[in-house]
Amino acid sequence: AYVVVDNCIMCKYMDCVEVCPVDCFYEGENMLVINPDECIDCGVCEPECPAEAIKPDTEPDLEKWLALNAEYAQLWPNVTIKRDAMPQAKEHDGREGKLEAFFS
């Protein structure tokens, strides 16, 4: 599966939701996640994210993010329509420590 990682937080550009053929993105206030059980590994979303926040879970050290995506995909609503990015998306793009500071 593909997963959304920390640089989505407070950016939420949302380009990813429009391209997913199985509509498996879920939306929190500051971040999206992918439901790894629904993702068909097509890879289409990865290059669409301006924040480079989508990775295949075959990359190293993504266990935490896979678990977070799986957990919050059960709690958050499905999202299929792209809206505006977060207001300070550019300022937050690439910041460290977003999970601790902002995740919700």
**Interacting residues toward ligand SF4 by CB under 6 A:** 2, 19-20, 22, 24, 34, 39-45
Rounded to 5°, angle at Cα 67 from 65 and 68: 60
19 contact choice in ligand SF4, ligand F3S, none (CB below 5 to 8 Å, kind-dependent): ligand SF4
C-alpha to C-alpha distance for 80 and 58, rounded to whole angstroms = 25
C-alpha to C-alpha distance for 91 and 87, rounded to whole angstroms = 9
C-alpha to C-alpha distance for 85 and 80, rounded to whole angstroms = 14
Q: How far is the CB of 86 from ligand SF4 (least distance, A)?
A: 20
Q: How far is the CB of 52 from ligand F3S (least distance, A)?
A: 8
Q: How far is the CB of 37 from ligand SF4 (least distance, A)?
A: 11
Query: Element (H or E) spanning 2, and its range?
Result: strand 2-4
Nearer to ligand SF4 (CB atom), residue 39 or residue 79:
39
24 contact choice in ligand F3S, ligand SF4, none (CB below 5 to 8 Å, kind-dependent): ligand SF4
